[in-house]
Amino acid sequence: MSRTLHPETLAIRTQVARTAQREHAVPLYLTSSFVFDDAEQARALFADEIPGNIYSRFTNPNVDELVEKLCLLEGAETGIATATGMAAVFASLAGLLSSGDHLIASRAIFGSTHQLLTKVLPRWGITTTYVDASAPPDAWEKAVRPETKLVFIETPSNPGLELVDLAAVGGLCRSRNLVFVVDNCFSTPLLQRPIEYGADLIVHSATKYIDGQGRTMGGAVVGSAKQITDIRFFARQTGPSLSPFNGWLLSKSLETLAVRMERHVANALRVAQHFDGHADVGRVRYPFLESHPQYALARKQMSGGGGIVVLELDDLARARRVVDTLELASHTGNLGDTRTIVTHPASTTHAKLTEEERARVAITPGLIRISVGLEHVDDIIADLEQALVRSRVSASAAKGEKSVATSGRPA
């Protein structure tokens, strides 16, 4: 086509070649292997001299279509898809690092990623230095060692919504020849394109917004062909491959990503604005809320604030009562769904962090993470309001009972 197409159009119109059956929707390629035209073609395929399918652990048309779409959206050269988001994170690190290597990571990252960096990679002699997300550029520079090979960040962070300055860290990585990896799960390529700020690799948990309906699992790593070559080799030998069915499903999901993200962002901003300064809420965190300490940075490197809002309540007991009294919102550990989801990270997704580790990444006992869904925003707000009221009444009743019990002591 002679003209440049918008991302929303690319996500819908990018498809594998139509077969002789003349289908409009891409068919499912549910096959473990592919036949060869002759012995020479088989040899050339295995030697990587020509492109083509061999075995679905390596490539599959449904999975390839998903990867191509993500590359177009992120501005990446190539990529691979994996069975889960954590498989993508692991492949991006294990495929590039060796024993004795060192990496730098933003301190505020997903709980399982933290476990990978602190419990798994050290078994193979790979060490990590954490830097606070909001630290000045010189803090990142000071963390670099002679054996440092890679920088891994998550922005906005899960769940605290802390931001890392992509341009600053990207500039450091270029000057020191470090691989720059960004987990872009919360923003999706429609709200943030880290490659434009110097990122070499983008990691996604496709289970979240890319699927968007809580139906399936998947992950992806896209970026520079130089790094993807090594990651692809690692993945082919270790087998964290995405199934053809999940590849097909996630590729179809990308066709509605732009529409869904527009509603997620609009609803989340309304929720954040409503509860900012609310009598029952200590603090609201949302990147596009002016009270967010990194609001200017968010507006610089993001085109929207995303679909996650964080409410900080008085304490653990209050947070638990709110979660338990919600009527509309779901209580689960996922996010990015059409349905609003509320999670208490301190006791679930980040429970394996120590209390000190949680405090250092702004996960307080009373923090609840809200993945704002696509329901009517007034219904979402009303559900949170009634839960806050009921939790306040419950807290007052509990204090009253305690007071009665204390005053009832015998003289």
**pLDDT for 315-364, tens place per residue?**
999 999 999 999 999 999 999 999 999 999 999 888 888 888 888 888 89
Tens-digit pLDDT profile for residues 372-398: 999 999 999 999 999 999 998 776 666
Q: What is the pLDDT at residue 373?
A: 98
Reported as a single tens digit per residue, the pLDDT across 272-296 is 999 999 999 999 999 999 999 999 9
Q: Which two tokens stand for residue 93?
A: 């690190």
Q: What is the pLDDT along the chain (411 residues), one digit of tens a residue?
A: 667 899 889 999 999 999 999 999 999 999 999 999 999 999 999 999 999 999 999 999 999 999 999 999 999 999 999 999 999 999 999 999 999 999 999 999 998 999 999 999 999 999 999 999 989 989 999 999 999 999 999 999 999 999 999 999 999 999 999 999 999 999 999 999 999 999 999 999 999 999 999 999 999 999 999 999 999 999 999 999 999 999 999 999 999 999 999 999 999 999 999 999 999 999 999 999 999 999 999 999 999 999 999 999 989 999 999 999 999 999 999 999 999 999 999 998 888 888 888 888 888 999 999 999 999 999 999 999 999 999 987 766 666 555 545 555 443
> In 10 A of CB 282, how many CB atoms?
14
